[in-house]
Structure formats: C-alpha cells, structure tokens
Structure 1
C-alpha cells in the first residue's frame, strides 16, 4: 500500500480566554489589600484614571425579607427580584451616616496612646543600665540583635564570637548575664533552657525538676508512668511539678508587641433589617473607586488627533480604564449576590448560632445565582462577612452534610464539631467521655456519626484524648486547690 500526504480541513469550536478576561477572573479572587494594591498600580500606569471622591456613590445594601411565603419550604427567605438583578445593583445606596458631624473634628483616641514597648527596646534599656565593660556591652548588643520576637536566641555563639573577634568564653559569660534580664526566660536557646531559667529564678530547680525538664517529650505525651521513674517521685508530687511547669511562660518575648497587629476587615456587612430580615451591604471602604477624567481625555484627544502613535496610546489607556471600572463593578455585584444567597441559606445560623449551621456546597449557591461553581469558589476565598455572631470567612458557611438518625435534615460538619466541643466542655474530672461515648451522645440528639469521625473532628480541634483530658483535669483540680 502506498502512503500519501493528504490535506484535511476540520471545524472545531473552542473558547479562548482573552488576557482581560483572565485578569477579571483574577480580580474576583483578590483579597481586600491585594485589590487596593492592584488598583493603585493601575492608577500609576494609566493617566486617564483618577480615584473617585470620598462622597461618590458606591454599591450599597439589599434588604431581604425573612417572611416565609405560603407553601414555601422551610428556611426559605423571600427576596426581592432586584437583589439578583445586576442592572439594579448600582441603584442601591448605603444607609446615610447618622453620626454627629462634630465628632469628626475630634482627635482620635489612639493619637494619645503611648507607643507600646517592644522586646528589643526593653532589652536595650536593661543593657544600658547594666555595668558592662565596653567589650561586654558590644557583645550584649550583638546578642540582642539576634534575639527572636519569642525571646529565644537561636544564633551560634561561636559565630557571634567570630563576628566580634571575641573569645567564646566571653560571649557565654555575657549571655549568662543577659539570661537574668526581664522577662524571665529571655535569651534561652531551647524550651528546656527557658523553663530552667525561670525555675532557677524561683529557686525551684531541684534534681526532680531538672529530670522533668530534661524529659519534656514525655510531658508532651502525658506519659506519667515514665516521668515518675525519671523524676523518682510519686504521682501527687509529679502532678504538682507539672502544675508549676504549666505556670511558666514558654515564649517570654510574646508579651511584647513587635508590630501593629493585623486585623481582619470584613468585605460584607450583615445587620438585622427593621422589616424582620437581614440587611446586606458591601463595606464602602472595601471598594476601590476610580473614575475616568473625561476633561483630561478631551484635552489629550485634541492634541493627538494628527498623531497616530499617540492616538493609539490614548485609545489603549481608555480601553483599559473602561475595563477596570467594569471589572470592579462586576466583582462587587458578584460578591454581593453570593453573600445574599449565603445569608438566605444560613438564616438559622444568624438567628440561633453555630448549632443551626446548615450543610452547604458551592453548587447550591452557584445554581441559585446562575454562575459557575468556580466563580463562587473565587468569591468566597479571602472574603469576610461581619454578622451579629462575629466575623467569618465566607468559606466558613460551606460545610459537608452529616446524616441525621431520624432521616430528617442533615447536620453540617461545623455544627457537629461545635456539638462535640460543647459535650467535652461539660465533662467533669470523674466523668471524662471516650470517643465512643461522645458518638453515643450525638446519636441521642439525632446526629449519626461513627467513632472514627468523632476522633477526626476532635483531633482537628486540637482536643486531647480522654486519657489526656482526665490527667489535665486532675492538674486543674490541684491548681484550683492552690
């Protein structure tokens, strides 16, 4: 058979995402800080864009009614059609600010607060007041520069001696002085040394305590039998020693503020509506507002009418500016639509607490608002909602279903974890429940879970086993008696 080359023509459909579409998708999943940073970069690159004034209009809230319609399924919330209508989103307004305008002129209270002392500043002041020789002071300052925020010193003393061209013995002598500084346990090179320093300052570092500190891995495993053999004490003495250890500070530097604390700023605000439902709005500060300076566009267009290169650049800037404004508006609309549906689905949680959190998946929300699951996934990443029950990441409201014993409504995994935590919190030292016992208790309230599921959820919440909890409750009893 002779082989020959043939030219075939085939027709195939494919979808190719444009660079701007890809960028719009990326905008959807950006967190608040990342979005503001992106917009600032666009403002720097595009001369036609300018930030909107603070009194400009922004997307506001959607009141949804909590009245159940006749024949509606349980937990159904009847929402106005405008809540899911993109063309009306721009008409929603945030509630007017009723704060007394005179308060805006008052200085903020944080302007009068003292700057919190840092760990390194606290150590530097003690070095300055210590009778060091010039060389010792130099060594002390170098060791302080290597101090971690937790209060530990992880640097090799031989390397520090080499940097300063000093004797290692001198570095060790200075370190011994620094370890007497406040807070107790500072400049330790390990957890054991940190505890030892604190115990020595309390004059409690006897041979039994030294053996306990030398076997911290047994303490972590709650292996009381091995600890009694190493420390050569009975169980009552061991429990008292463990109570002393627990009273120490394993990270003495953490009591100092090393920097400004990071706070979570919600993207969506949910408040009770006067009509009996929920009022949902986007935080205006979470929405970067940009405008096209039409005056500047007209001015530049008059000067570039005869220059094709400049005209092309102007058209490109104008196209990018329009794209950014549309993308930001679409992003806000999508977040608001997803949040509105989440609130509708989790109305019982908002009213009664985490025990009433319903099972929910991405597909349910996506089908309700007619978007793709991936869109809901991007919207719920790194976005937070402020509710009367606290601030939650939107992903928090999406949990798997746990079957009910009676065949009724399923329970969410988060609600089951909450139940397990509540059952364990009610234990007494004489009645500590095993995972099998907890599973039986859950079945009594209609939650059908296996023992291994209880174990998995308990370990995920960092709750120790029943044996460990029983020992810790005995320790707590000793502490309460003291």
Structure 2
C-alpha cells in the first residue's frame, strides 16, 4: 500500500436544498402544491396567502331557501320556516336529503327488516363485518363458529341468510359460489351451466367454446350461449357501492382557448393563493436591533421569497411547454384526436433549450382544459412510425385507433388475424410488422382472433 497526494480537477453538480425544492415543486400536481403552500403558510409567519374571492359573488351564490321552498308547498314544505337559512353559520335543511351508503350499511339495513330473532341477526351482523372489499367471505364457517362460539349449523344458517340478501352473490366464499348464487336467484340454471362454472371457467375466460362443447357433448354455439349467460353475472358483488373514498376531481392547470382564430394558453390562477410577504416583518428589518430577531426574520423572508419565485417559475415553465405543444399539435386542437402528431419530450426540450427531465417534471400529473375536454398533458406526447409514402411520422395513438376500428368492424364469425390487420395498415401507409400489431392490440386490451370468434 502506498499513500500519496494527487490534485485532480472535475466538474460536479451539487444540488442545494433550494434547488431540490424547486425541482420538487415543479413536478407537484396542483393539488399537492396547494397542500404544500398551506403547510408553509402555517409554519412561516412572514408568508401571506390570499385567495381572491369577491364578497358580492359569495352573497350572489347563496341559496334563498325561503324562495325555493315556495315551489315545494304542494308537498307541505311551506308550513316550515326557512327564512333564516341565508346565514353562513346555519345548516341547510337540504344537507339531510341523501347520504352515500356503503355495502355493509346496505346489508345491515336489510338484516333489521328480517323476520328472525335477535340472536340470528347478531350472527348475521358479525358475518357482514367479516366480508372483504369484493363482498366475499374470506374466512371459513368453522373459523366463524370457533370465534363466536356457536355451532357450525347455526353459522351456516346465518350465512344462507346473508347470501339471500341483495346484491346477488354477496357472502360467497369464492367466484364459483358467487356465480352459482346469482344463477339460482335469476333462475338461469341448468346442469350444463353449473358444469361450466364448476369445471370450465378458464376455458370460458379464453373463449375456448369448442373445448367446453366437447366435454359437455353439445355444439360450440350452445356452449357459447351458456357462456354469454354466465358473462352477464357480476363476479364482484360490491361493485357500485360507496367504498369510503371520495372522488377527487381533476382541476386543469391551464386552459387552451381559441380567441380570434388563434389558440392561447390561459393559466388557472384560481388554483393557488396569491403569495406575498407580510409588511409587518418588512418593517422589523428596518427597526429591530435584536440580532437574533433579525436573523430569524431574514431566514423566514428568504424562505418565503424562494417559494414565491419557485411557484412563478413553475407557472412560467408550464406556460412555455403548453405554448410549444400548441405550435406542434395545432391540427389536434383544431380537428381532433385523429390528427395527433408524434411528439417527444426531447423535441420539446430542444426547442425550449431545457433538459428532458425538466419537461417531464413540468407535465407530470398536470391537466389542461381544451375544447375536446380536460386532458392529461402527458397524453399529448406519443412516439411515431415513419411512413415512407407520406414522408412523415404517424402517431402510435392513431395506429391503435385504426386497429380498434378494424376489429370493431370485423365479421365476428371470421375475426381478423394480426397478419391481416398488418396488411390492411400497410395499405394505409402505416408500415408496421405483425408483431407490432399484436403488441398494440394487447395494449388496447383486445384478445386475439381465436378468442374473439363467435359461433
């Protein structure tokens, strides 16, 4: 081993804490950024955040319940006085009209109406609370009987009561039992259908009707008819019920509007509060002589100023990216999705003299409102395939749309193979291989020709 000193020169990019924060803010969605600003506002006394809201608009948007109820007098609502409900601190009587019901609440309500003794009802209540998110019972009857110290016969009786409730298939222990309960309730059952559920669900999922027909000694068309009946059933009984999670609505970061024949980007300033520095703390810098107090205020002002600057820089970056997208995708905004051109992050980055990672962060989880609806900015970026005849790239999205269109219009008795689809696309100057067609078809969630065939 030898120890010696060497002098080397190298370039390094060391990201400061502020640089890291700037990058973090750029890639945040508007919702996350709003939460971050609210948190900073609570922690930094120097920062002021104000949402612009006109008092006149608040008053205008109030509901005059007294006037509204006049139209409901035929239902005897007029006998009640709602004249005072225009105050902000009052509770609207219309808040009590409806409430979202979860699956378990729905089942509990049905149990209350049953003509059974309270002991059986309590066992049913226990089983309801044991159901999983799909509406299935994941534990065995034996375990239930041990847990609450009852006989297996009593537990089975309670489970049968649960399985008789709405929605059909509730309380099943597996998908086969779930389907059988629904078949029995809808009176669709016969030995053939029950046999398919018990022994041929995998063949049914893959549309292998000839295998089913051979096993059951029936025609492929008959097997297909039975399969169609089974496919109308619901494998997840809990579907459609409130799960406890509220829907998060998408709010666009910007609007793209056509004004005087040209498309313009209008940033959605209502999403975030207007940030500023509290004047009281500015005065402290001039008058305060306590060094500790001065250092504290300076630190907080620097933090607030950097946040304000980063938010504005984020807004500016998104604006510039959207302006360039409008320039490259003018036909898309003018004529629709079929005119979407291939566009990559690299292309935008080079034209704006930015790094690809900056563009990627700027469009991450960001939405824009257009005449075509609210769309994810990222969805406007797509690769392309070169067309020798046309001399330009064709968007992958357009190729996928064409594949879907060909399959939608095919003869279901003789579905198009991937090779035939490939040949048709080549005739349209979309030069792709059969393997690429298969890849795009799978990405669209479309089965192969053998699994799409109808008898």
TM-score range, shorter chain: 0.7 to 0.9
What residue number does 2:443 align with? 460
SS in 1 for 2:398: helix
What residue number does 1:61 align with? none
Which of 33, 58, 62 aligns to 1:105? It is 62
Give per-residue Cα distances to partners, 1:355-405, cap 9 Å, x unaligned.
211111111111222211110011111111222223222111111111214
Give per-residue Cα distances to partners, 1:99-133, cap 9 Å, x unaligned.
99985234799968622333222111101111333
Q: CA RMSD in A?
A: 2.6
Using the TM superposition, name which of 422-431 and 403-412 deviates more. Answer: 422-431
Residue 248 in structure 1 maps to residue 233 in structure 2: yes
Which of 251, 255, 263 aligns to 1:265? It is 251
Structure 1 residues 48 and 29: alpha-carbon distance in aligned structure 2, compared to 1, 3 A threshold = same
What residue number does 2:217 align with? 232
What residue number does 2:401 align with? 418
What residue number does 2:294 align with? 311
How many equivalent pairs are there?
A: 425
Which of 2, 13, 16 aligns to 1:15? It is 13
Residue 30 in structure 1 maps to residue 28 in structure 2: yes
Measure, in 2, the Cα distance between the counterparts of 1:250 and 1:317: 57
Measure, in 2, the Cα distance between the counterparts of 1:408 and 1:112: 63
What residue number does 1:41 align with? 39
Measure, in 2, the Cα distance between the counterparts of 1:129 and 1:158: 27
Gaps of 5+ in 2: 69-93
SS in 2 for 1:199: helix
Give per-residue Cα distances to partners, 1:313-335, cap 9 Å, x unaligned.
22111111111111111111111
Whether the 8 Å contact between 1:269 and 1:283 is mirrored in structure 2 is yes
Using the TM superposition, name which of 456-465 and 338-347 deviates more. Answer: 338-347
Whether the 8 Å contact between 1:354 and 1:418 is mirrored in structure 2 is no
Whether the 8 Å contact between 2:255 and 2:268 is mirrored in structure 1 is yes
Give per-residue Cα distances to partners, 1:148-204, cap 9 Å, x unaligned.
343222234444333323333322221111000011111122221111001111233
Structure 1 residues 179 and 300: alpha-carbon distance in aligned structure 2, compared to 1, 3 A threshold = farther
1:432-443 maps to which residues of 2 (within 5 A)? 432-443=415-426
SS in 1 for 2:276: strand
Structure 1 residues 341 and 161: alpha-carbon distance in aligned structure 2, compared to 1, 3 A threshold = farther
Structure 1 residues 104 and 359: alpha-carbon distance in aligned structure 2, compared to 1, 3 A threshold = same
Using the TM superposition, name which of 150-159 and 199-208 deviates more. Answer: 150-159
Using the TM superposition, name which of 227-236 and 18-27 deviates more. Answer: 227-236
TM-score, normalisation: structure 1: 0.82
Q: CA deviation at 1:237?
A: 2.3
1:80-479 maps to which residues of 2 (within 5 A)? 104-106=61-63, 114-214=98-198, 215-259=200-244, 260-273=246-259, 275-299=260-284, 302=287, 304-306=288-290, 308-471=291-454, 474=455
Measure, in 2, the Cα distance between the counterparts of 1:128 and 1:427: 52
Measure, in 1, the Cα distance between the counterparts of 2:175 and 2:248: 27
Measure, in 2, the Cα distance between the counterparts of 1:366 and 1:288: 29
Gaps of 5+ in 1: 57-98, 475-482
TM-score, normalisation: structure 2: 0.86
Q: CA deviation at 1:297?
A: 4.2
Measure, in 2, the Cα distance between the counterparts of 1:327 and 1:218: 57
Q: CA deviation at 1:26?
A: 0.8
Measure, in 1, the Cα distance between the counterparts of 2:4 and 2:144: 76
